[in-house]
Structure 1
Amino acid sequence: MSLARRLLILQMVVLGVVVAALSVLTILDERRDSDAATRRHVSSIAEAIALSESTIAALRSPDPSSVLQPEVEQIRVATGTDFIVVMAPDRTRYTHPNPALIGQHSEGHIERALAGETFTETFTGSLGPSIRAVAPVQADGQVLGLVSVGVTRERIGEEFAEGWPALLGILAVGVAVATFGSLLVSRHLRRQTLGLDPEELRRLYEHNDAVLRSIGEGLIMFGRDRDGRVRVDVVNDKARRLLWLPDGPVTLYQLPETLQRIASDSDSEEVQDEVHVTADRVLVVGHAPVLWEGRRIGTVVTLRDHTELQRALGELDSARNVAESLRAQAHEYANRLHTIVTMVELGRGDDAVSFAAAELTTSQQLIDRLTTAVHEPAIAALLLGKVTEAAQQGVEFTVTEDTALGPVRVLSPLEVVTVVGNLVDNAIDAARSGSDENPWVEVTVAEEDSVLVVRVADSGPGMDPDTLELATTRGYSTKQVDGRPARQRGLGLALVAQVVARHGGRLRTEPSLASMLVVEIPLPNEPRGIDDGEDPDR
Structure 2
Amino acid sequence: MARRSPRRPMSLARQLLLLQVAVLALVIAAGTALGIVDQLRDSDDANRREVTAVAETLALSDSTAAALRSPDPTALLQPETERIRQATGVDFIVVMAPDRTRYTHTNPALIGQPFGGNIDRALTGETFTETYAGSLGPSVRAVTPVYDDGTLVGLVAVGITRARVGAEVAASLPLLFTLAGAGLVASTLGALLLSRRLRRQTLGLAPDELRRLYEHHDAVLHSIGEGLVVFGRDEEVAELVNDEARRLLELPDGPVRLASLPASLRRLDLSDATDAGDEVHLTMNRVLVVNRHPVNWEGRRIGTVLTIRDHTELQDVLGELDSVRGFAETLRSQAHESANRLHTIVTMVELGRYDEAVAFATDELRLSQQLIDRLMATVEEPALAALLLGKVGEAAERGVTLTVTEDTALGPVPTLRARELVTLVGNLVDNAVDAARDTDDPWVEVSVRQEDSMLVIRVADSGPGLSPDSLANATTRGYSTKSGSRGLGLALVSQVVGRHRGVLRAEPSLGSMLVVEIPLPPGGGS
Check if 1:148 corresponds to 2:154: no
What does residue 522 of structure 2 align with? 525
Counterpart of 2:423 in structure 1: which amino acid? T
Distance 1:265 1:515, change over 3 A: farther
Which segment is superposed worse, 507-516 or 293-302?
507-516
Q: Matches of 1:298 and 1:362 in 2, distance apart?
A: 63
Q: Is the 8 A contact 1:464 1:514 kept in 2?
A: no
- The counterpart of 1:452, out of the listed 438, 455, 475, is 455
What does residue 5 of structure 2 align with? none
Distance 1:136 1:395, change over 3 A: same
Check if 1:239 corresponds to 2:239: no
Q: Matches of 2:132 and 2:87 in 1, distance apart?
A: 23
Counterpart of 2:140 in structure 1: which amino acid? I
Q: Matches of 2:430 and 2:69 in 1, distance apart?
A: 137
Secondary structure of residue in 2 paired with 1:269: coil
Q: Is the 8 A contact 1:343 1:351 kept in 2?
A: yes
Secondary structure of residue in 1 paired with 2:480: coil
* Map 1:438-517 → 2, pairs under 5 A: 438-479=441-482, 486=484, 488=485, 490-511=487-508, 515-517=512-514
* Map 1:104-503 → 2, pairs under 5 A: 104-168=113-177, 170-172=179-181, 174-175=183-184, 178-179=187-188, 181-183=190-192, 185-225=194-234, 230-262=236-268, 265-432=270-437, 434=438, 436-479=439-482, 486=484, 488=485, 490-503=487-500
Which segment is superposed worse, 102-111 or 296-305?
102-111
Counterpart of 1:517 in structure 2: which amino acid? L
| Deviations 1:33-89 (CA, angstroms, capped at 9, x unpaired) | 211221221122122222222223323333333322222211111111112222334
Q: Is the 8 A contact 2:413 2:525 kept in 1?
A: no
Q: Matches of 1:184 and 1:239 in 2, distance apart?
A: 39
What does residue 2 of structure 1 align with? 11
Alpha-carbon shift at residue 489 of structure 1 (Å): 5.6
Counterpart of 1:388 in structure 2: which amino acid? G
Secondary structure of residue in 2 paired with 1:266: helix
Secondary structure of residue in 2 paired with 1:108: coil
Which segment is superposed worse, 463-472 or 110-119?
110-119
Q: Is the 8 A contact 2:330 2:394 kept in 1?
A: yes
What does residue 534 of structure 1 align with? none
Q: Is the 8 A contact 1:426 1:489 kept in 2?
A: no
| Deviations 1:432-451 (CA, angstroms, capped at 9, x unpaired) | 2x3x2222212112222221
Counterpart of 2:469 in structure 1: which amino acid? D
Secondary structure of residue in 1 paired with 2:106: coil
Secondary structure of residue in 2 paired with 1:271: coil
Alpha-carbon shift at residue 423 of structure 1 (Å): 0.9
Which segment is superposed worse, 237-246 or 178-187?
178-187
Secondary structure of residue in 1 paired with 2:307: strand
Counterpart of 2:456 in structure 1: which amino acid? V
Check if 1:26 corresponds to 2:35: yes
| Deviations 1:443-480 (CA, angstroms, capped at 9, x unpaired) | 1122222211111122223222223223223332233x
Q: Matches of 1:113 and 1:325 in 2, distance apart?
A: 130
Q: Matches of 1:121 and 1:409 in 2, distance apart?
A: 106
Alpha-carbon shift at residue 184 of structure 1 (Å): 5.1
Secondary structure of residue in 1 paired with 2:160: strand
Secondary structure of residue in 1 paired with 2:272: coil
Counterpart of 2:391 in structure 1: which amino acid? K
Q: Is the 8 A contact 1:420 1:454 kept in 2?
A: yes
Secondary structure of residue in 1 paired with 2:284: coil
Secondary structure of residue in 1 paired with 2:278: strand
Secondary structure of residue in 2 paired with 1:27: helix
Secondary structure of residue in 1 paired with 2:426: helix
Alpha-carbon shift at residue 425 of structure 1 (Å): 1.0
Q: Is the 8 A contact 2:282 2:477 kept in 1?
A: yes
Which ranges in structure 2 are unaligned for 5 or more consecutive residues?
Answer: 1-9
Distance 1:369 1:134, change over 3 A: closer
Q: What is the TM-score with the length of structure 1 in the denominator? A: 0.88
Q: What is the TM-score with the length of structure 2 in the denominator? A: 0.90
Which segment is superposed worse, 88-97 or 204-213?
88-97
Q: Matches of 1:371 and 1:185 in 2, distance apart?
A: 80
| Deviations 1:265-307 (CA, angstroms, capped at 9, x unpaired) | 4223223221112222111111112222323222211111111
Q: Matches of 1:113 and 1:409 in 2, distance apart?
A: 114
Q: Is the 8 A contact 2:147 2:154 kept in 1?
A: yes
Counterpart of 2:313 in structure 1: which amino acid? E
Q: Matches of 1:65 and 1:376 in 2, distance apart?
A: 137
Q: Is the 8 A contact 2:462 2:511 kept in 1?
A: no
Q: Is the 8 A contact 2:236 2:259 kept in 1?
A: no
Counterpart of 1:341 in structure 2: which amino acid? V
Distance 1:107 1:443, change over 3 A: same
Which segment is superposed worse, 271-280 or 404-413?
404-413
Check if 1:62 corresponds to 2:85: no
RMSD of aligned residue pairs (Cα, Å): 2.6
Q: Is the 8 A contact 1:475 1:491 kept in 2?
A: yes
What does residue 7 of structure 2 align with? none
Q: Matches of 1:409 and 1:135 in 2, distance apart?
A: 114
Check if 1:81 corresponds to 2:90: yes
| Deviations 1:354-376 (CA, angstroms, capped at 9, x unpaired) | 22233223323333333333333
Distance 1:395 1:127, change over 3 A: same
Report how many aligned residue pairs link the two structures. Answer: 517
